[in-house]
Amino acid sequence: MTGGSKKNRRSFLLPLFLHQIIKAEYSSAFLFTNTHQYLLANFKMTTTYIGTDHVPAQQRTLGRVIIFIATILLVALFLIQILHKTNTITLGFENWRPTLYGYLLWSIALCWGILLIKGDRGQRALFVLPAFLFTIAMVIFPLIFSVYISLHDWNLSAFEGQKFNGLDNFRALLVDEYYWNSMLNMGYYLVAILFEYAIAFGLALLLNSQIVARKFFRVVFLMPLMLSPVAVSWMLGKSLMEYRFGPAANLARHLGWESPAFFSSPEIARFSIMVLDAWTFIPFMMIMLLAGLQALPKEVNEAAKIDGATGWQHFWKITFPLMLPVSVTATVIRIIFKLKLADVVINVTSGGPGGATDTVTSFIFREYRDRSNVGYGTMMAVVYLIIIIILMTLMLKLIDRWMQKVT
């Protein structure tokens, strides 16, 4: 082999040798990197596993014991205080403040127990506990205390104070025709939501179309929602619809109504209350429906126009089905607001004439204000709450089944 060929061979082998070295170094680095990542991942998994799940059994048992003992003591303290207040036993406290202190101690014991049971995961659970404890303090305890009050004869105008009477208030409620009359009126008011929904949907369609001064009309239609029901009752019920000098009454006289008393007969008074309440809350439903209309995909509307669908066909086949979720949400929220109807009734008619405009809430309010009957009024509120929970649960289940069939 000549010197030139050897030189050429060396020049050929040198890049190949360098390539093998670089490849080996790259493989080693790649192996080292993967091994490092694998060990690091396993270390993290092991750390998480040990820190969260591998809590010692004795520690978990101690946490459960702490929660159990604290709960037993809180329930015992609560029952002793109830029996003391009902004059069943002499052991107890003069007020409910010790029960509040017991609840705070139970909250601390609950947090401590969760940390012992769940380890590191218990720290994340502590972020949810404030909302849970707040719900118990502001919802559960008041409900329990309301049930406690409803089982007493407690009239603020009497000198005897509260006296346990068992289910006497409930028995009186079953034969109270005024209470069940207010429940019947609530049925009428709830049916009116269908007409409110139809008007709100029509206004939403109008404001969603290309009309002149659309932004101006949006503000105008939302103005009633900005007013409180008390202001509406005085502006419309006590001023605009006033029998002697109200503009609405004068207009009715010019149209041939000799005695335009909007709140004198039961049927007209109930209808007038419906109008006042609808005038206040129709904008609320309208703005929700308008937001739903603006969120509809434009491609669907354009495809319907290309296919030659009329306005009526477009509404019933496309717009209304697509708007069902928003419509159901707006209607359910409106039902919740309607069940609390009281402001307009109290300020305009006080439930009259003859209880024709009374709602359950306004009737309970007058029971407190006029008769100072706290025990009986609370029993009415508790029964009303139970009825609402049952009916709303059934309604939501029926709506869910109907939506599944339709969609």
Work out the average pLDDT over 84-110. 86
Asked whether residue 91 falls in the same domain as residue 224, the answer is no
- Is 364 among the domain residues? yes
117-149 pLDDT per residue, tens: 888 787 777 787 888 888 888 888 889 889 989
Rounded distance, CA 227 to CA 245, Å? 23
Rounded distance, CA 53 to CA 189, Å? 55
- Is 49 among the domain residues? no
- Is 36 among the domain residues? no
Rounded distance, CA 290 to CA 214, Å? 12
Higher-pLDDT residue of 239 and 381 is 381
Asked whether residue 109 falls in the same domain as residue 71, the answer is yes
Helices (H), 86-152: 97-118, 121-125, 129-135, 141-150
Asked whether residue 152 falls in the same domain as residue 230, the answer is no
What is the total count of domains within the chain? Answer: 2
59-87 pLDDT per residue, tens: 889 999 999 999 999 999 988 988 887 77
The domain boundary, picked from 139, 166, 193, lies at 166
Asked whether residue 193 falls in the same domain as residue 221, the answer is yes
Residue 27: how many other CB atoms lie within 10 Å: 10
Provide the β-strand partners of residue 373: 155
The domain boundary, picked from 133, 166, 199, lies at 166
- Is 35 among the domain residues? no
- Is 29 among the domain residues? no
What pLDDT shows up at residue 53? Answer: 53
Residue 348 has pLDDT above 70, yes or no: yes
Strand ranges, E, within 146-211: 152-153, 163-164
The domain boundary, picked from 140, 166, 192, lies at 166
The boundaries of the domain holding residue 379 are: 171-406
Asked whether residue 159 falls in the same domain as residue 183, the answer is no
Residue found by looking up tokens 């969120």 in the block: 295
234-255 pLDDT per residue, tens: 888 888 888 888 888 889 888 8
- Is 15 among the domain residues? no
Rounded distance, CA 286 to CA 198, Å? 10
Nearest-CA neighbor of 236 among 189, 271, 280, 276? 276
- Is 4 among the domain residues? no
Kindly state the tokens that stand for 279.
């005038």
Rounded distance, CA 57 to CA 66, Å? 14
Start-to-end C-alpha separation, the chain = 87
The domain that contains 382 carries what CATH number? 1.10.3720.10
- Is 150 among the domain residues? yes
Residue 227 has pLDDT above 70, yes or no: yes
pTM of the model: 0.75
Q: What average pLDDT does the chain have?
A: 82
